Amino acid sequence: MASRKLFRLMLAILICLGTVLPSRAADLIKVPTAWLPGQEAFPVWYAKQQGWDKAMGLDLQIFAFDSGAEALRAFPAKSWMFGGLGAVPALMGAARYNMSIIGLGNDESMANAVLVRADSPIIKTKGYNPACPNVYGSPESVKGKTMLTTKVTSADYTLHLWLKTLGLKEQDIVYKNLEQASALTAFDYNIGDAVVLWAPFTFVGSNRNWKTVATPKDMGKHLPIVLVANTAYATKYPEVAASFLTLYMRGVHWLQTAPREEAVKMFQKFYLDWAGQDYSLDLINMNFDTYEFFNLEEQKKLFDASKGVSEVQQWENELADFFASAGMLTDKELEAFKTGNQVTAKYINMVDPAAVQK
């Protein structure tokens, strides 16, 4: 009896001191998550490396998928509950598979770009549209030209925005639908007048002295990688959803406050150990300069719908309009997405800033 009283006293002291006792594996809540081998997976990987998930009573399982489409195919089977997806799979998941958008991974609006060769006549005109002073090209220099990119992707959306900025439509150009690696190779062999790529292919193009004529950022648009959840699971276990976001945001906080050199080296380790990609330090630094992560305060503001449609919802609505025009969403699905609650601030608002900055 005395030993039990002593144990209870010690437990009370440890709790008061804020010490977290290690949990047995059987006591941890397994949380399967899905990611592509991109930099948006770094915060959750780092959280796992530091053991932060176990300290919160979770066992984060980090599954890698080669594409968003592959991850989306696995979602209805409930093989994962949270994850990070790009625009197309997230929209499809929200429209068809009871998926919610609960946070932001990053903004890749500077990672997608229209590129031309250094001697292209397209770069002779800059700021044709006064609303986009940093965008190159004119209707005369672009109309009838051959564009290489990947259909119904973020690169395709980037091309659409560029043409719209110049007062043109897809019918005004010659469109060549190629996978990204093939598009890059073809353009390298002098095929096409412009190529539209996403990172890391954009970095390769820059190293070959190709010139960036437009990015979504230049045109005032965002291309978010979003954090998503199985809606039914998050509704039933809101504390788990909030804990997942807390871990992610804690990883983002470390990334944004750690010394640049330390963060770059850790990013390099992440790519090599988890994604199997041996990137140079120069390439990692280009990643840092290209992608934008959002801290907790920024995320809460961007998801705030107290005065109407939130900024994140607006970004997603614009993307949904484009992909619906490309036949990826039906009119019924588009309407359901715009009027539904798939983009929600519920869980990001549950995240305690103090827990993120530990």
The whole-number pLDDT of residue 164 equals 97
Report H helices in the chain: 2-16, 42-49, 52-55, 68-74, 87-96, 139-142, 154-165, 180-188, 201-207, 231-236, 238-257, 260-273, 281-290, 296-302, 311-325, 331-339, 353-356
Q: At residue 314, does pLDDT exceed 90?
A: yes
Residues of each domain in the chain carrying CATH 3.40.190.10: 21-108+224-356, 113-214
The whole-number pLDDT of residue 62 equals 97
CA torsion, ordered 149, 155, 161, 162, to nearest 10 deg: -50
What is the architecture of the domain spanning 21-108+224-356?
3-Layer(aba) Sandwich (3.40)
The whole-number pLDDT of residue 15 equals 30
What's the chain's average pLDDT? 91
Q: At residue 255, does pLDDT exceed 90?
A: yes
Distance CA 153, CA 12 (A): 55
Q: At residue 2, does pLDDT exceed 80?
A: no
With respect to CATH, is domain 113-214 assigned 1.10.10.10? no
The whole-number pLDDT of residue 26 equals 59
Residue among 321, 301, 287 nearest 39 (CA): 287
The whole-number pLDDT of residue 18 equals 33
* Tokens (6 digits) for 338: 């715009």
Q: Percent helix, strand and coil across the chain, each rounded to 5?
A: 50, 15, 35
Residue among 189, 193, 219 nearest 322 (CA): 219
pLDDT mean over 69-77 = 94
pLDDT mean over 260-283 = 92
Q: At residue 59, does pLDDT exceed 60?
A: yes
Confidence of residue 30 (pLDDT cuts 50, 70, 90): very high
Check residues 8 and 268 and name the one with the higher pLDDT.
268
Confidence of residue 27 (pLDDT cuts 50, 70, 90): confident
Q: At residue 249, does pLDDT exceed 70?
A: yes
Write down the pTM of the prediction.
0.86
Confidence of residue 21 (pLDDT cuts 50, 70, 90): very low
Tell me the residue type at 177.
N
Distance CA 15, CA 21 (A): 9
Distance CA 251, CA 105 (A): 11
Distance CA 346, CA 344 (A): 5
Distance spanning both ends of the chain, measured CA to CA: 38
pLDDT mean over 83-89 = 91
Lowest mean pLDDT among 36-40, 128-132, 254-258, 302-306: 36-40
Q: Sheet containing 174-177: which strands, arranged edge to edge?
A: 174-177, 146-149, 194-197, 113-116, 211-214
SS3 at position 148: strand
- Do you know the residue count of the chain? 358
Tell me the residue type at 268.
Q
pLDDT mean over 333-343 = 91
Q: At residue 143, does pLDDT exceed 60?
A: yes
Confidence of residue 125 (pLDDT cuts 50, 70, 90): very high
Q: At residue 200, does pLDDT exceed 70?
A: yes
